[in-house]
Amino acid sequence: MSLDSTSLPLLAEALRILDEGFADPFPAEQIPDFEAMGTVLCELAVEMRDNYPYHHPLYAGQMLKPPHPVARLAYALSLWLNPNNHALDGGRATSRLEKESVGKLAAMFGWESHLGHLCSGGTIANLEALWVSGRLGPGRTVVASTQAHYTHERICGVLGLPFQSVDCDASGRMDLDALKRVLDEQDVGTVVATLGSTAVGAIDPLADIVELRKNRSFRIHVDAAYGGYFTLIRTLSSKARVAFDAVPSVDSIVIDPHKHGLQPYGCGCVLFQDPSVGRLYRHESPYTYFTSNDLHLGEISLECSRPGAGAAALWATLRLLPLQPGGSFAVDLEKSRNAARTLYRRLREDSRFDAPLEPELDIVVFTPRARSASVASRAAELVFEAAAEEGLHLALVTLPRAMMTRGSSAENVERASTEYWDQESVRCLRSVLMKPGHDTFMDEIWRRLDVATGNVAHAWAGAARTAP
Ligand SMILES: Cc1ncc(COP(=O)(O)O)c(C=O)c1O
């Protein structure tokens, strides 16, 4: 059996304790038709089989990670009450747990003051951060790199803010010279720095961006939806460490507990360094805030109803796995990065592959080595399909020619040859190795990739270029 069910008795015991907290007895909840419910649930289980095995290390494709068992159980436990963290009236305990948990996320970044809350995910969290930027600097441009998450541009459209993208260097990091040019030419209100880009896990040069702000006035928003927790690990590259160490100087941060924080989906978090931005949310609600003069989370968030279950799950996870450098949560993150570095090393040692970017976090991008971008792209798709047939699930990503030909590395110089670039982008294989099990499973992952590549290599063999 690969799905854990051994932890389920813990839920029954926790439910019994929860139940004891409510004095007035109530007739046991009526389950209308136990048998019919069982039938529907079994049907659902069969329907749910139509998924990739996200929980398994052989799923090494997109940014998907199962929640920690304690998060799963805590979420389920709270569903018996179904608190709503909009107001203390709807979720007194879980609002308190949310404030405590959000405080721990802010502390992880070294923030002494903050205002923040959970929300449904990275997109809404970024929307809120940019909404605050727009309220403070109406009409001013928001800038993000070409590798920033695509939703930043869309969010600016929703908010009616001008958006400008900035080129990246050969590592997928925001290019500082390109940024300087935009800062000189436009009225920039906010620079979005991505710490952990979605496609390749690149870290924008945040410390330099903070430096640039000394002579200009713009807000800095950090999108660390995916990469934020990596600040806990001790083996980051020095460039990445310097970037993470600059986070205390920024105005807002987004981090998604539902990505690397072991939470079920529906758990993003936005943090503002200056708590006074709370004034921007002020509104009158004649029907929601009655039971307490304390802060109701709905008074500092754009969304209204939100699941208290998300806060319960995050709180339980943080109790079990504190956010400490060297703690077991951080050690597991380190394993993900190790897995990425091991795969990268093996790809580099194998003449069938081209791995252009050294992984900064736990994402590896590679192509089958071929004479042209179009052949490499087709080969990547073939390996992707052949790997899935071997039970190894990878992802695909398209990277622009501009990013893969910059800089002076021998490979990029070679790749810059017009002979290779018969199209403006190349499709690559992409693997997000975000489960600790990826590290221990690396031999098996490699074995299956090897077999899959061998099964389809004839399709482009002979078209392969010589190793750079
Ligand atoms: C860097 C980054 N920002 C924002 C998002 C959007 O987050 P969500 O899918 O939770 O809305 C993602 C998603 O992968 C991301 O990687």
- Tell me: pLDDT of 225 over 80: yes
The pLDDT value recorded for residue 309 is 98
Residues facing 354 on adjacent strands: 367
Give the sheet arrangement for strand 425-432, strand by strand. Answer: 353-354, 363-368, 425-432, 395-400
**Higher-confidence residue: 347 or 25?**
347
Total count of domains within the chain: 2
Residues 232 and 203 in one domain: yes
- Tell me: pLDDT of 320 over 90: yes
Return mean pLDDT, the chain.
94
Q: Tell me: the pLDDT tens digits for 254-270?
A: 999 999 999 999 999 99
What's the 16 CA to ligand 1 centre distance in angstroms? 37
What's the 122 CA to ligand 1 centre distance in angstroms? 5
With respect to residue 43, please indicate whether it lies within any of the assigned structural domains.
Answer: no
CATH number of the domain to which 135 belongs: 3.40.640.10
> Ligand 1: which residue has its CA nearest to atom 7?
122
The pLDDT value recorded for residue 468 is 40
What's the 126 CA to ligand 1 centre distance in angstroms? 9
- Tell me: pLDDT of 126 over 90: yes
Scan for tokens 């039938």, then name that residue: 39
Domain boundary among 320, 348, 365: 320
The pLDDT value recorded for residue 466 is 44
The pLDDT value recorded for residue 288 is 81
Q: Is 335 in contact with 438 (CB distance < 8 Å)?
A: yes
> Which atom of ligand 1 is nearest to 123's Cα?
11
Residues 294 and 436 in one domain: no
- Tell me: pLDDT of 464 over 70: no
Show Cβ contacts of residue 39 under 8 Å, excluding neighbours closer than 6 positions. none
Residues 382 and 237 in one domain: no
Residues 305 and 379 in one domain: no
What's the 324 CA to ligand 1 centre distance in angstroms? 24
Q: Give Cα separations from 416 to 89, 353, 403, 424, 429 (angstroms).
A: 61, 17, 10, 11, 20
With respect to residue 354, please indicate whether it lies within any of the assigned structural domains.
Answer: yes
Question: Which one of 158, 226, 267 would you pick to mutate in the ligand 1 pocket, going by the greatest count of ligand atoms within 8 A of its CB?
Answer: 226
Structure tokens at 307: 């699941």
Among 1-5, 168-172, 256-260, the range scoring the smallest mean pLDDT is 1-5
Residues 115 and 244 in one domain: yes
Domain boundary among 320, 347, 371: 320
With respect to residue 33, please indicate whether it lies within any of the assigned structural domains.
Answer: no
Structure tokens at 242: 């310097």
Question: Which one of 123, 124, 362 would you pick to mutate in the ligand 1 pocket, going by the greatest count of ligand atoms within 8 A of its CB?
Answer: 123
The helix/strand/coil state of 272 is strand
CA 236/CA 334 separation, integer angstroms? 9
State the number of CA atoms in the 13 A half-sphere of 356 facing the CB.
34
Band (pLDDT 50/70/90 cuts) for residue 462 is: low
CA 236/CA 243 separation, integer angstroms? 10
The closest alpha carbon to 108, from 217, 229, 10, belongs to 229
Residue range of the domain that includes 256: 92-320
Nearest-10 crossing angle of helices 308-320, 69-79? 140
For residue 139, how many other CB atoms are within 10 A of its CB? Answer: 10
Average pLDDT on 11-30 reads: 86
Average pLDDT on 154-167 reads: 98
What's the 201 CA to ligand 1 centre distance in angstroms? 12
Q: Tell me: the pLDDT tens digits for 77-93?
A: 999 999 999 999 999 99
Residues 302 and 435 in one domain: no
Quote the pTM value. Answer: 0.95
The pLDDT value recorded for residue 70 is 98
- Tell me: pLDDT of 441 over 70: yes
Average pLDDT on 58-80 reads: 97
Band (pLDDT 50/70/90 cuts) for residue 29 is: low
With respect to residue 27, please indicate whether it lies within any of the assigned structural domains.
Answer: no
Q: Is 394 in contact with 429 (CB distance < 8 Å)?
A: yes
Domain boundary among 260, 286, 320: 320
> Which atom of ligand 1 is nearest to 226's Cα?
16
CATH number of the domain to which 346 belongs: 3.90.1150.10
> Which atom of ligand 1 is nearest to 194's Cα?
1
At residue 5, what are phi and psi to the nearest 5 degrees?
-125, 0
Question: Which one of 252, 256, 303 would you pick to mutate in the ligand 1 pocket, going by the greatest count of ligand atoms within 8 A of its CB?
Answer: 256
- Tell me: pLDDT of 234 over 80: yes
Q: Tell me: the pLDDT tens digits for 343-370?
A: 999 999 999 999 989 999 999 999 999 9
What is the sign, positive or negative, of the torsion defined by CA atoms of 406, 410, 416, 421?
negative
First-last CA distance in the chain: 45
Residues 111 and 220 in one domain: yes
Ligand 1 site, CB within 6 A: 63, 121-123, 126, 149, 151, 194, 198, 223, 225-226, 256, 268
Residues 260 and 336 in one domain: no
3-state secondary structure 95-127: HHHHHHHHHHHHHHCCCCCCEEEEECCHHHHHH
> Ligand 1: which residue has its CA nearest to atom 8?
122
Show Cβ contacts of residue 415 under 8 Å, excluding neighbours closer than 6 positions. 356, 404, 405, 421, 468
CA 81 to chain centre: 29
Q: Give Cα separations from 368 to 62, 199, 285, 351, 461 (angstroms).
A: 19, 18, 58, 9, 10
Among 182-191, 292-301, 303-312, 323-332, the range scoring the smallest mean pLDDT is 292-301
Q: Is 395 in contact with 62 (CB distance < 8 Å)?
A: yes
Residues facing 219 on adjacent strands: 190
> Ligand 1: which residue has its CA nearest to atom 16?
198
With respect to residue 69, please indicate whether it lies within any of the assigned structural domains.
Answer: no
With respect to residue 359, please indicate whether it lies within any of the assigned structural domains.
Answer: yes
Among 13-27, 37-51, 56-70, 397-411, the range scoring the smallest mean pLDDT is 397-411
User: How much of the chain exceeds pLDDT 90, in percent?
Assistant: 86
- Helices (H) and strands (E) counted in the chain, each on its own, are 16, 11
What's the 76 CA to ligand 1 centre distance in angstroms? 25
Residues 275 and 314 in one domain: yes
Residues 336 and 275 in one domain: no
Q: Give Cα separations from 158 to 124, 131, 155, 162 (angstroms).
A: 12, 10, 5, 10
What's the 64 CA to ligand 1 centre distance in angstroms? 11
* CA angle centred on 133, ends 208 and 218, rounded to 5°: 35
The pLDDT value recorded for residue 407 is 63
CA 57/CA 198 separation, integer angstroms? 19
Residues 316 and 363 in one domain: no
The helix/strand/coil state of 10 is helix
Scan for tokens 């494709």, then name that residue: 61
Q: What is the DSSP letter of 55?
A: T
CA 373/CA 364 separation, integer angstroms? 18
> Which atom of ligand 1 is nearest to 124's Cα?
11
Question: Which one of 126, 142, 149, 173 would you pick to mutate in the ligand 1 pocket, going by the greatest count of ligand atoms within 8 A of its CB?
Answer: 149
Average pLDDT on 8-14 reads: 97
Average pLDDT on 209-227 reads: 97
> Ligand 1: which residue has its CA nearest to atom 4?
122
> Ligand 1: which residue has its CA nearest to atom 14?
198
> Which atom of ligand 1 is nearest to 148's Cα?
1
DSSP 78-90: HHTT--BTTSTTT
Q: Tell me: the pLDDT tens digits for 283-315?
A: 888 888 888 888 999 999 999 999 999 999 999
**Higher-confidence residue: 30 or 71?**
71
The secondary element (H helix, E strand) that includes residue 337 is helix 328-349
Q: Is 141 in contact with 187 (CB distance < 8 Å)?
A: yes
Scan for tokens 């199962």, then name that residue: 66
Integer-rounded Cα Rg, in Å, for the chain is 24
The pLDDT value recorded for residue 23 is 79
> Which atom of ligand 1 is nearest to 125's Cα?
11
Residues 145 and 178 in one domain: yes
Q: Is 248 in contact with 111 (CB distance < 8 Å)?
A: yes
What's the 439 CA to ligand 1 centre distance in angstroms? 24
